[in-house]
Amino acid sequence: MDGPSGVGKSTVSRKVADRLGLSYLDTGATYRAATLAVVQAGIDIGAEDAILSELAEHDIDYAESGIMLDGGPVAVAVRSDEVTRNVSALSAHPRVRTVIVDMQRRWVQDQGGAAVVEGRDIGTVVFSDAPVKIYLTASPLVRARRRAGDAEAQGRTVEEIAAAIEARDHADSTRTASPLRPADDATVIDTSELSIEEVVESIISIVEGRST
């Protein structure tokens, strides 16, 4: 499941995973946990070698309760403004991506090879042979309105959130390493006018359509 922020990816992915009895992995949270470790260590977010050495000292995992860094839950800390501002820069480093993608692939293997995995490059790179690929989109304003309810958006206007979302989209889709884009064989769903339940239902039909 790929798409930019604020399209409802996490909520939809969790519900689809529940319905299918599968584990769920939020790969954005793995990049955020890496960013948290790097920011806490005071490392320059542009210094790829230093980032790689720092990450070698840490353990990033995804438990049922959410993202873990060195065995402790960091679901709230990874949503801080500082992490959100720096995560696109960290995730643009190709060798950093390789390390984090390896972790994501190992994680899915540990789940028996079946899971709902959400991110930006899951259908194009991480699991390019996935049996079902979904790409969610929605207009920037709709996404900003949805994000306005999130903890990380508190105190900001919808226009400010929309501007931040567009800046992050731009950074994520124009980077050289694994840019955000739909896989050629992904089903693209525009969620602007759909409820969460409607999106979940259409994905379940796609999955069931494949298995019959």
Write out the residues near ligand DC by the rule CB under 6 A: 5, 27-29, 31-32, 87-88, 91, 119-122, 168, 172
Which CB, 51 or 172, lies closer to ligand DC?
A: 172
Q: What is the dihedral of CA 115, 150, 42, 90, to 10 degrees?
A: 50
Give the C-alpha separation, 107 to 127, whole Å.
12
Nearest distance from C-beta of residue 78 to ligand DC, angstroms: 8
**Cβ–Cβ under 8 Å, residues 121 and 174:** no
Nearest distance from C-beta of residue 60 to ligand DC, angstroms: 13
Nearest distance from C-beta of residue 29 to ligand DC, angstroms: 6
How many Cβ atoms sit within 10 Å of the Cβ of residue 26? 22
Nearest distance from C-beta of residue 28 to ligand DC, angstroms: 2
Which CB, 55 or 87, lies closer to ligand DC?
A: 87
Which CB, 15 or 32, lies closer to ligand DC?
A: 32
Which CB, 95 or 205, lies closer to ligand DC?
A: 95
Instruction: Give residues with Cβ within 8 angstroms of 124, minimum separation 6.
Output: 2, 178, 181, 182, 183
Give the C-alpha separation, 23 to 45, whole Å.
31
